[in-house]
Amino acid sequence: MELEKDLHPALDNEQFFLVYQPRWNVKENCLAGWEALIRWNHPRLGIISPGEFIPIAEETGLIVPMTDWTLKKACLQCREWQARGVLEPISVNLSVRLFQTGSLQKTVQRILDEAGLDPQWLELEITESMVLYDIQEIIRQIEGIRNMGVKISMDDFGTGYSSIGLLDMIPLDTLKLDRLFTNNLESPTKRAIISAIILMAENLHLEVIAEGVENQEHVDFLLQLGCRNMQGYFYGRPMSIEQIDEWMKQRS
């Protein structure tokens, strides 16, 4: 395929860049962190979404050096914000393929060292799809990474495979409620599920972040259900560094 051929040199040719989306603590009305999201600036096709090229990168193995690059870039950015007094964690999405390299923990440690970033500021987002793989091995690696002080969140929670059972197996810090819930808050069933998830998360000492928050109505509903942390277009789109500077000026 065309994209596959172009993807390979994209890393060396510096065609990838990161955008960052804010997480918002609604109770305290303050910034609660950033999620780094990769973009590909294709020389002819323009900006391509990761939804299109991550699956190809996973198939070809390019996902491994690509994630290396993303982690490094995100950690350095977090460090730079810290130097400017912005003390918020950064999260990076991880493909399950990274666990198959067997060297993820070492890589993360090396990158944190190189960036001079304390592990507490890094969060790795995983998804439920990893139950399809050697889950015991993945859990072993997650334990190692968490013991370093890095946080782990479950992305897109509630839509994938055996969610609840996983919570008993995988050591986690944060649940990110899939935006499908946020988009269906008028449904009493969805509201009941969210409120149960939030209660369960509290008892498990997990943070909850609602994704896909797009308007005040979403915020009000989610607050009623006990959710404090939110992410979505209502608070900020994924932004470039230049856009973030502007966004921060407007908010301060």
82 in Cβ contact with 88 (< 8 Å): no
51 lies in the binding site for ligand G (CB under 6 A): yes
Q: With contacts defined by CB under 5 A, name the span among 48-56, 68-76, 80-88, 147-155 that binds Mn ion.
A: 147-155
Minimum CB separation from ligand G for residue 85, in Å?
A: 26
Burial class of residue 234 (count of CB atoms within 10 Å of its CB; 0-12, 13-18, 19+): middle
Structure tokens at 91: 């999260």
Tell which positions 195-224 bind Na ion, by CB under 5 A. Answer: 211
β strands within 94-236, DSSP E: 122-126, 151-157, 174-177, 207-210, 229-231
123 binds Na ion, rule: CB under 5 A? no
Residue indicated by tokens 């500021």: 121
Among 26, 31, 32, 38, binds ligand G (CB under 6 A): 38
User: Could you tell me which residues are beta bridge partners of residue 143?
Assistant: none
Q: How many CB atoms lie within 10 A of CB 31?
A: 18
Reading the block at residue 211, the tokens are 């994704």
The token pair at 90 is 């950064």
Least Cβ distance, residue 125 to Na ion (angstroms): 7
Parallel, antiparallel, or unpaired for β 16-25 and 30-42?
antiparallel
CA distance 125 to 237: 18
Q: Which of Na ion, ligand G, Mn ion, none does residue 38 bind to, with CB < 5 to 8 Å depending on kind?
A: ligand G
Q: How many alpha carbons fall within 13 Å on the CB side of residue 5?
A: 2
- Site residues for Mn ion, 80-99, by CB under 5 A, read 93
Segment contacting Mn ion by CB under 5 A, of 47-55, 127-135, 151-159, 166-174: 151-159
| Stretch of 107-115, 128-136, 184-192, 212-220 lying at the interface with ligand G (CB under 6 A) | 212-220
Nearer to ligand G, 203 or 231 (CB): 231
Q: Does 156 bind Na ion (CB under 5 A)?
A: yes
Query: Does position 158 bind ligand G by CB under 6 A?
Result: no
238 binds, among ligand G, Na ion, Mn ion, none (CB under 5 to 8 A by kind): ligand G
Residue 74 exposure: Cα atoms within 13 Å on the Cβ side? 29
Q: How far is CA 120 from the centre of its chain?
A: 15
Q: For residue 70, state whether it binds ligand G (rule: CB under 6 A).
A: yes
3-state secondary structure of 192: helix
| Site size for ligand G (CB under 6 A) | 21
- Using CB under 6 A as the binding rule, the residues of this chain from 171 to 190 that contact ligand G are 179
Binding-site ranges for ligand G (CB under 6 A): 21, 37-38, 49-51, 54, 70, 93-95, 155-156, 179, 211-214, 232-233, 238
Binding-site ranges for Mn ion (CB under 5 A): 93, 125, 155
Binding-site ranges for Na ion (CB under 5 A): 155-156, 211
